A and B are shown apart, each in its own frame.
Chain A
Amino acid sequence: MWSASTVCSLCIKEEDSPVYEGGGLGKMAGSKVKQDMPPPGGYSAFDYKRNLPKRGLSGYSMFGIGIGIMAIGYWRIFSWNRERRRLLIEELEARIALMPLIQAEHDRRTLRMLRENLEEESIIMKDVPGWKVGESVFHTDRWVPPLSDELFSLRPREQYLHKRFGFLWYV
């Protein structure tokens, strides 16, 4: 039976309630209720404030580094371009030095091909009426450098193409 001597664990004892004693809030529950409370003494301190540390280079110095790298790049490019110009001039001078020889060879070849073409033409067009062999299409009698068209016209086409396009690297 319910006797007065039993301790009611859920009851609020009068002597412990804050209303009667004015005790602290920590004693609010007063009774032995198992709650999840912070450890005695509270937690240790931690920083909750904003942490935006000033780090790295400043903006000015980053600009400076960028501009410095660009300047070094410019200087290298300019000096190499000057060097390339010197090399180009050397190559042009070499071409000038060799020009008589190469021009002479080229001229001999041209003349030989013209002569051969003339003979061929005279053989081929023997029976065609009214054809003047070796007639020039111009009214003047200046030397007109012949086109590679004319020189190679009686030869297989690939020789002509080689002459015209053989040294091209681009399309």
Chain B
Amino acid sequence: IMPLVDIQSWLGINIDRWMLLQSGEQPYKQAARCHAFEKEWVECSHGIGQIRAKKECQLEFEDFFECMYRKKTRQRMHAIREQRDKLIKEGKYTPPAHHTGQPDQNP
């Protein structure tokens, strides 16, 4: 009967609703890193059912997932690094000076 009888708002207490969403109210107003993506996804899929949401909010969900786990980002980084190492081994590429530890701390 849980979804039909909202005990927490009937009693006026807030046991665990504060921790359900990253986009909820956070202490010290510190926003989560993926706050925007989560908000987009929730706003997109609010009110329509789960089946429709899975179809229609695919993009938002993918962005949110990517933000949280950064799988695609890491894949790209990995590919670039591998290619760079390959080129260095073949001798075709030298990393520029600021990529090898000389301090060039620009603003």
**Which chain B residues lie closer than 8 Å to A109 at the CB level?**
106-107
Pick the most buried of B59, B67, B107: most chain A CB atoms within 10 A of its CB: B107
**Closest partner residue, chain B, to A142 (CB atom):** B36
Contact B80 A124 (CB under 8 A): yes
Q: Confirm or deny: A3 has a beta carbon within 8 angstroms of a beta carbon on chain B.
A: no
* Contact call A153/B36, Cβ cutoff below 8 A: no
Which of B33, B63, B76, B98 touches A140 (beta carbons < 8 Å)?
B63
A residues 91-116 with Cβ under 8 Å of B? 105, 108-109, 112, 116
Complex Cα distance, B72 from A108, in Å, reads 25
Contact A154 B84 (CB under 8 A): yes
Count chain B residues whose beta carbon lies closer than 8 angstroms to a beta carbon of A: 29
A125 surroundings in chain B (CB, below 8 A): 79-80, 83
Closest Cβ–Cβ distance, residue A151 to chain B (whole Å)? 11
A112 to B62, CA, bound (A): 28
Judge if A90 is at the interface, Cβ distance under 8 Å: no
Mark B residues whose CB is within 8 Å of A.
33, 36, 40, 59, 62-63, 66-67, 70, 72-74, 76-77, 79-81, 83-84, 87, 93, 95-96, 98-101, 106-107
**Residues of A at under 8 Å CB distance from B?**
105, 108-109, 112, 116, 120-121, 123-125, 128, 131, 137-140, 142, 144-145, 147, 149-150, 153-156, 158-159
10 cross-chain CB contacts under 8 A: A120-B84, A137-B66, A138-B67, A139-B63, A140-B63, A144-B67, A149-B73, A149-B74, A154-B80, A155-B100
